[in-house]
Chain A
Amino acid sequence: MKSAVLVFPGINRERDMARALRLASGHEPAMVWHAETSLPKDTDLVVVPGGFSYGDYLRCGAIAARAPVMDAVRAFAAQGGLVLGVCNGFQILCEGGLLPGVLMRNARLKFICRDVHLRVERSDTPFTRGYNAGQIIRVPVAHGEGNYEADEETLKRLEGEGRVLYRYCAADGAVDERANINGAAHAIAGIVNEAGNVLGMMPHPENHVEDIMGCTDGRGLFAGLVAHLERAA
């Protein structure tokens, strides 16, 4: 799996992401500066990592979404290329029109930095095939604006088309108000686009991939992507 990790000023999770990708695939990811107008040849996966691009000025992800490299990402995605956006990356993909909806201020206004549980809603996608449908995983979140919102019509479509891949839940898998840490509509933690090749999620699977991190539940996402690409090759 040849991956490209985008780097914007203010991003700070790109090295964690690169490390997780390297561990999963055995390949060194390319770090791609925001001013580039193309992606490295033969890129299999583009990752928009977390952080605070442009200091979250204007709206989280708004300025990064208009960076030159994003035109290349849009073209890559339009051809079916896999794109993963985590945290600020999710915000950037929404602002850039690659995913519907918007990430609003957390309902209880606090920045939330802790482990959460997610329910993997289906396993038959490139982004979830490393898990079983219904599996509960534990991964960290660190965000102040992760409250996913979209209009009723969009939410209905996301649910109807099975595009909600990750949902906040309690340790036992129950989806309730308490487990929905940021107040997201339908407790949405991660969604894919209509074609299913672009995933945005608020939690950080890249921070739970090694024993030293205390948990390896995030590995499945990366292992699944590697398996998907090997099978496609």
Chain B
Amino acid sequence: MKARVTVTLKSGILDPQGKAIEGALKSLGVDGVASVRQGKVFDIELSGSDTAKAEAALKDAADKLLANTVIENYRVEVLS
């Protein structure tokens, strides 16, 4: 089973890296960029085929390690 955990900064948290990327995109002449927030994507392969179980395990992984919930939100998706 394939899954994806996406970790993003909570709104209101200053994102200096996102700001730098935003500046770089503007200087490259990419049109219409209003703002950029950067984050992380984890592609995870799981053994077993129980979707509910997989989601619970991924949530556990995100809470324990993948995200720092003081500043980050996460989203768990089971892809296949």
Tally the A-B contacts, defined by beta carbons under 8 Å: 34
- What is the 8 Å Cβ interface bit string for chain A, positions 97-108, against chain B (1 contact, 0 not)? 000111011111
Q: How distant is the Cα of A49 from the Cα of B41 in the complex, in angstroms?
A: 30
The A interface is mostly helix, strand or loop, or mixed, namely loop
Residues of chain B from 1 to 39 with CB closer than 8 A to chain A in the complex: 13-14, 16-17, 20
- A58 an interface residue at 8 Å Cβ cutoff? yes
- What is the 8 Å Cβ interface bit string for chain A, positions 55-71, against chain B (1 contact, 0 not)? 00011001100100000
Query: In the complex, which of the residues A66, A104, A147 contacts B65, with contact meaning CB atoms closer than 8 Å?
Result: A66
Residues of chain B from 26 to 79 with CB closer than 8 A to chain A in the complex: 64-66, 68, 70-71
Which of B13, B14, B64 has most A Cβ within 10 Å? B14
With contacts A109-B17, A149-B13 taken as known, whether A62 is within 8 angstroms of B71 at the C-beta atoms is: no
B68 touches A95 (CB 8 A): yes
B16 touches A105 (CB 8 A): yes
With contacts A105-B16, A105-B17, A109-B17 taken as known, whether A66 is within 8 angstroms of B70 at the C-beta atoms is: no
The interface size of chain B toward A, counting residues with CB under 8 Å, comes to 11
With contacts A107-B14, A107-B16 taken as known, whether A102 is within 8 angstroms of B64 at the C-beta atoms is: no
Minimal Cβ-Cβ distance residue in A for B67: A59
Q: How distant is the Cα of A58 from the Cα of B68 in the complex, in angstroms?
A: 10
Q: How distant is the Cα of A33 from the Cα of B16 in the complex, in angstroms?
A: 34
With contacts A104-B71, A149-B71 taken as known, whether A58 is within 8 angstroms of B14 at the C-beta atoms is: no
Q: Which residues of A contact B14 (CB under 8 A)?
A: 104, 107, 149, 183
A58 touches B65 (CB 8 A): yes
B16 touches A102 (CB 8 A): no
Q: Which residues of B contact A150 (CB under 8 A)?
A: 70
Q: Which residues of B contact A108 (CB under 8 A)?
A: 16
Binding site for A on B (CB under 8 A): 13-14, 16-17, 20, 64-66, 68, 70-71
Binding site for B on A (CB under 8 A): 58-59, 62-63, 66, 95, 100-102, 104-109, 147, 149-151, 183
Pairs A–B under 8 Å by Cβ, sample size 10? A59-B68, A100-B70, A102-B68, A107-B14, A108-B16, A109-B20, A147-B16, A149-B14, A149-B71, A150-B70
